[in-house]
Structure 1
């Protein structure tokens, strides 16, 4: 059953704390991700599958950041002056960020796993062409998911007569409310397996392979990937499914939005401490 009246006036729907947090995410996330995208495109060859996935991850984060000013306005004023279509677009950009980021971060982990554990056997798989194909597939999948989910979301917005956008009480769920937590949890497990295998491999090869000089940087990448899922992606995905968590969905959305501010650290550790050394390991192993 759905309660289509928000039951709140504009003052009661104001949340200055949420507006402050999301505004801070804009101030930090926009320049960091824009700069990261420029650096990735200009200073690193997109022939690397890692660079391809990171460019797409940066694009995903920028799409999230550009949607946040409307959320800031809503939580600062308690009103939604735009159309239902605009509300749907802003909501989908947030959900798309979680899904696409989860896919791209998992792709980065799998690429790292192949590079460290199977450097020779995986060379035919770890190509920029395959990385671009995977990235295109992810974006197409995300867009296809948007169609039924947007239609489901618009049914309830029509009943609200434009009185709200992000906060209304509805207990009916779409199929994606069940699928998304499963997908996020599955990709979390994949990242955990990749982390364990790479850690085990480096513990055996660190002293033998001169190319891998900084195990800390390598493992920081995987640690950050796990943090992204455990702290930012999984809680909000469970929140839209578990009824008792519904009151904390806005704080979880604010928390999940912070992920776009931390992704540039992933780029730094990857290219400064891992990517070049991985290529050196590949070369040294190929000569043996």
Structure 2
């Protein structure tokens, strides 16, 4: 290993504290959420299937956070280049899979609220599992070019400073990052369209017998999805192709925050109102 000044960088305790806080908060929230989803909700529900996979995606990112905490707390990277690759890939995979699973959840809610009978045949567990498999397959296929490029250049990486390494930045910067940007923008557009259609339906076509509290909770689901896209996913995806790795830590912190916000999505989606008879017109086919 080279003895250049990049071997030991200045610690950045603020980022270590932020990532540590996300780790401490996100790990139990997502672990408990996953347990509740598997224990108390049927995996025959498309909504549950997508949320279980979203929780798994968040947990995969969370297990990589101790490496970031140590790096920013000490300014050193004692692990291998491959460990750095995995930490980076898990972060990017969370953005890619998270954006797709959240979009599937929005589309599922759209079908339940706007087309409860006409498109009921699309809301089956079989289709949901196929959708989840497609998401993971896409993530793996997108990760392969980045991983191969990193391995190809690994012999040139003399200083594994990881999250602020210019060599790592060069190795991982490829056409894939533009795919990620296009993916997030497309998923955001789909979520916006779903939100507009659901809000319009609730405002114009849902009977007055549906409680105001029910409408508010439905709207909160879509509002939270848009917040996660505009605050967590979009800024970092826009910046990756043009911004140096060393300047992206604040955006990475924002993106990682989605792990703590997703459990709120589970709560609002599976509150008792989804299963009450008087709200059947909102959940037909669940």
**What is the TM-score with the length of structure 2 in the denominator?**
0.90
Hey, what's the Cα distance between the residues in 1 that align with 2:38 and 2:228?
24
Shift of 1:137: 1.0
Corresponding residue for 1:66? 63
Unmatched tracts of structure 2, length 5 or more: none
Corresponding residue for 2:46? 49
Hey, what's the Cα distance between the residues in 1 that align with 2:264 and 2:283?
28
Hey, what's the Cα distance between the residues in 2 that align with 1:117 and 1:143?
33
Question: 3-state SS of the aligned residue for 1:206?
Answer: coil
Shift of 1:282: 3.9
Corresponding residue for 1:182? 182
The verdict on how the C-alpha distance between 1:223 and 1:92 changes in structure 2, with shifts beyond 3 A counting, is same
Hey, what's the Cα distance between the residues in 2 that align with 1:32 and 1:80?
28
Corresponding residue for 1:193? 193
Hey, what's the Cα distance between the residues in 2 that align with 1:154 and 1:285?
50
Shift of 1:90: 1.1
Hey, what's the Cα distance between the residues in 2 that align with 1:49 and 1:212?
25
Corresponding residue for 2:8? 10
Equivalent pairs, count: 281
Unmatched tracts of structure 1, length 5 or more: none
Hey, what's the Cα distance between the residues in 2 that align with 1:204 and 1:65?
41
Is residue 118 of structure 2 the alignment partner of residue 130 of structure 1?
Answer: no
The verdict on how the C-alpha distance between 1:284 and 1:92 changes in structure 2, with shifts beyond 3 A counting, is closer
Corresponding residue for 1:260? 259
Shift of 1:114: 0.7
Segment of structure 1 superposing worse, 264-273 or 162-171: 162-171
How big is the alpha-carbon RMSD for the aligned residues of Structure 1 and Structure 2? 2.5
Hey, what's the Cα distance between the residues in 1 that align with 2:66 and 2:119?
43
Question: 3-state SS of the aligned residue for 1:62?
Answer: helix
Corresponding residue for 1:223? 223
Shift of 1:285: 7.5
Q: How does 1:133-282 map to 2 (within 5 A)?
A: 133-169=130-166, 170=169, 173-208=173-208, 210=210, 214-243=214-243, 246-272=245-271, 275-276=274-275, 280-282=279-281
Hey, what's the Cα distance between the residues in 2 that align with 1:75 and 1:33?
24
Corresponding residue for 2:17? 20
Question: 3-state SS of the aligned residue for 1:163?
Answer: coil
Shift of 1:280: 4.0
The verdict on how the C-alpha distance between 1:6 and 1:151 changes in structure 2, with shifts beyond 3 A counting, is farther
Hey, what's the Cα distance between the residues in 1 that align with 2:49 and 2:163?
33
The superposition leaves residues 143-189 of structure 1 with CA deviations (integer Å, 9 ceiling, x where unpaired) of 11111111223345432224311112245731111111111011001
Shift of 1:5: 11
The superposition leaves residues 242-272 of structure 1 with CA deviations (integer Å, 9 ceiling, x where unpaired) of 24x6543111111111110010000000111
The verdict on how the C-alpha distance between 1:260 and 1:238 changes in structure 2, with shifts beyond 3 A counting, is same
CA contact (8 A) 1:211 1:278 kept: no
